Amino acid sequence: MAARPLIRLNPHQERRLKAGHPWAYSNEIRMTPELRGLTPGLPVRLEGDDGWRGGTFAFNPHSLIAARLLDRDPEAAIDGDWIRRRIAAAAALRARVADRRFHRLVHAEADGLPGLVVDRYGEVAVVAANSAWADGMTGEIVAALIAELGLAGVVGRNDSPVRELEGLPQAVALLAGQAGRVAVEEGGLRFGIDLMAGQKTGWFFDQRRNRDMVAALAAGARVLDAFCHLGAFGLRCAAAGATSVTLIDSSAAALAGATEAAAENGLAGRVAMRRGDALEAMAEAGQAGERYDIVVCDPPAFAKSRKDQAAGLRAYGRMARLAARLVAPGGLLFVASCSYHAPLEAFAAAVAEGLHRARREGRVLATTGAGPDHPVHPHLPESAYLKAQLIQLD
């Protein structure tokens, strides 16, 4: 094997990496013309200016995150067998902590596979390669998934804006076998998912335990599910005994999927659909005097980048204010954010301000995140992107 390229950190830049952080940023690396010409995603050896050996990293000279840890062994063979071992370890963990057929199988750096996300839908997996290294190893990743799990198909959903930061094009493609429309099972319900055309990787597994929590409180309740996507929160509540459920989303395709799921699961008689901007729809509902026992707000990211943070937090505050006015006395409000750039403390403060502006008092019953199939890397708070609160209002 040819000698692996060596990259060195600038002086005094190794402290964070020595402490276990898996990334080196471009301004921390001694960039040379030779390094700038390396193929993005290439495994390299990383060393500190003092000679400290960091291990094998995937290097992308065109990305702010220039080096991502692959292995502490600087000579590790990063090949199909290496990938298969990592995927086998991730699958073994999910067998212990998650649904055995439907779950997030690989959660990037937290599973030792930087930039790689894999969701499993029974006999089909959806792969999102969000780093140059993962994109370049797609063939080996697909082969490892099929070998370890015996899958019938693998879909590539490489259409995330995150790929642009790595200099990668966006694409959706069938990578192996057969895949298209599948049914995901949760809480005794079935939801039809189009893996080639749905949002992100098709289903939001990260909210599963939060849906369990909310549904357990829904018997006899009137429920509003805003930003509903396929209606997972609302339909889970209907199945748990809610007397009525209203689903709001701006996407006609999402509401069509929710309508289909309601009918397939025998819940259509208690579920109403309302298409429109969720914030505007909640404002109109409040003016009309509508009240619900449970209001769920699980929006898309309002703060997609650092520059959007202030505006995003204002949007979360407005959402909480509008939603709180719809909650009947003694009822429950569930609010969530999938924005890493809206950290928990700031998000909770925005929600609290929204409740105050709505002139509602209450108490936080639970502060939660994603389930254990979305593990968090100890040194990467970015992997703990989801935060949520369940609040009772007087």
Q: Which residues are catalytic?
A: 338
Coil, strand or helix at 218: coil
CB 120 within 8 A of CB 105: yes
Write down the H helix ranges in 46-102: 80-97
By the 8 A CB rule, do 83 and 92 touch? no
For residues 358 and 325, the answer to whether their CB atoms sit within 8 Å is: yes
CA of 101: how far to CAs of 36, 94, 120, 300, in Å?
42, 9, 7, 26
Q: Which residues pair with 189 in a beta bridge?
A: 186
Sheet holding 222-226, edge to edge: 271-275, 244-249, 222-226, 292-297, 327-337, 387-393, 362-368
CA 209 to chain CA centroid, Å, is 14
User: How far apart are the C-alpha atoms of 113 and 106, rounded to whole Å?
Assistant: 8
Angle between helices 344-357 and 309-324 (to 10 degrees): 40
CA–CA gap between residue 169 and residue 377 (Å, rounded): 27
